[in-house]
Amino acid sequence: MRVLALHADVLVATSAIWQTNCVLVRGAAGSAAEAGALTVESGKGSLAGQHGGRVADETFVVDSPVLPEELDALPALLEQAGFPPPSGLLATHGDWDHLLGPLAFPHTPLGCAQSTVERLRAGRGAVQRELRAFDERYLIERSRPLALGAVQALPAPGRCEIGGLELELYPTAGHTADGMAILVPWARVLLVGDYLSPSEIPTIGEEAQALGAYVDTLGRLQPLVQSAELVVPGHGPPLGAADALTVLDQDLAYLRALAERGLDAELPRAARRAFQQGLHRENAARAGKASQQERRLPSPPRS
């Protein structure tokens, strides 16, 4: 696992599997609610902990590395960096490889967007099944099963308290039907989940409106990227804002070409390896299926 400091309050730990990023965020001292409690009022949420009767600096762990030894290393990494133990875990979306934080911090509350809470409820047990399938395929053993506990919903759009500061939350969709991007305003770091990766092409979800939702998400992210200094995708190295905007433009061009030309759309950047070609074929099949469904919709009645 590779660890990079983006700011005094932001560390990125990158897994050896799929370059999956786990982000450690520290907030300054401030008022906090009872440990594990979530409050939502006027678009604000809180996942906060108390420390010895007074509120200390807080840490949130966003997403997760994948391998057991990487997860086991997270508590020591926080201690070495001078970060307190996490008072909350956050997930940018409901894909299993972003939800392994409870394996490292089993008694820490997990928060995510309302859309992700609904996805996890609808597919109860799906995350655990996908993790078991991955572990069986690669002969990985874990010391305990994954238990997500009572996942707590956060408002997106909205804000989430961390110490005396606030994270800004923005809805995302297209890669999956759920999710949120997280802005760390005082560090000017934007966490975008599985968007804007320099290492892989966009992958759209299976739902009929995924392609349009992905384009909408990129439009929503653009001003956030412009206001940030650094952007952390779910997979791949962090990017400066200018490079992230380049990736965003390339991804928009690819998605529009995908809608128009399907499998003949040119892949963005240098992502033309066999694995990326496989993702592209899946994208084209899903985009084509969505187009067929739209053509089968009955025409509105004429007045």
Find residue 292's DSSP bridge partners: none
Residues 6+ apart with CB under 8 A from 95: 176, 194
For residue 271, what pLDDT is reported? Answer: 60
Q: How far apart are CA 127 and CA 112, in angstroms?
A: 15
pLDDT of residue 203: 94
Average confidence (pLDDT) over 195-211: 93
How much is the pTM? Answer: 0.87
Architecture label for domain 1-167? 4-Layer Sandwich (3.60)
Question: Which of 111-120, 156-165, 294-303 shows the lowest per-residue confidence on average (mean pLDDT)?
Answer: 294-303
Name the packing angle between helices 241-261 and 210-227 (round to 10°): 160
The per-residue pLDDT for range 232-289, each reduced to its tens digit, is 999 999 999 999 999 999 999 999 999 999 999 999 876 667 888 899 999 999 988 7
What was the pLDDT predicted at 268?
87
Q: Is the pLDDT of residue 80 over 60?
A: yes
Mean pLDDT calculated for residue range 35-51 = 44
Residue pointed to by tokens 């965020």: 25
Residue 84, C-beta contacts closer than 8 angstroms, at least 6 positions apart: 26, 51, 56, 57, 58, 59, 78
293 band by pLDDT with thresholds 50, 70 and 90: low
- Helix/strand/coil (H, E, C) string of 66-122? CCHHHHHHHHHHHHHHCCCCCCEEECCCCCHHHCCHHHHCCCCCEEEEHHHHHHHHH
pLDDT band for position 29 (cuts 50, 70, 90):
low
State yes or no: pLDDT of 16 exceeds 60: yes
- pLDDT tens string 118-154: 999 999 999 999 999 999 999 999 999 999 988 999 9
Q: Which residues contact 187 (CB under 8 A, 6 or more apart)?
A: 6, 7, 8, 9, 10, 25, 229, 230
pLDDT, position 44:
59
8 Å CB contact between 51 and 21: no
Check: CB of residue 231 under 8 Å from CB of residue 190: yes
User: What percentage of the chain carries pLDDT values higher than 70?
Assistant: 85
- Give which of 179, 167, 190 is closest to 45, Cα–Cα: 167
d(CA 303, CA 136): 59
Mean pLDDT of 182-197: 97
Asked if pLDDT for residue 40 goes beyond 60, the answer is: no
76-81, long-range: CB < 8 A, 24+ apart: 77/3, 77/11, 77/13, 77/24, 78/24, 81/5, 81/11, 81/24
Q: What integer best gives the mean pLDDT of the chain? A: 88
As a whole number, mean pLDDT of residues 77-84 equals 95
Q: How many angstroms separate the Cα of 99 from the Cα of each of 61, 96, 127?
A: 11, 5, 8
pLDDT above 70 for 158: yes
Domain ranges (residues) in the chain: 1-167, 195-296
DSSP summary character for residue 151: P
Q: Comparing 25-29, 78-82, 167-171, which segment has the lowest mean pLDDT?
A: 25-29
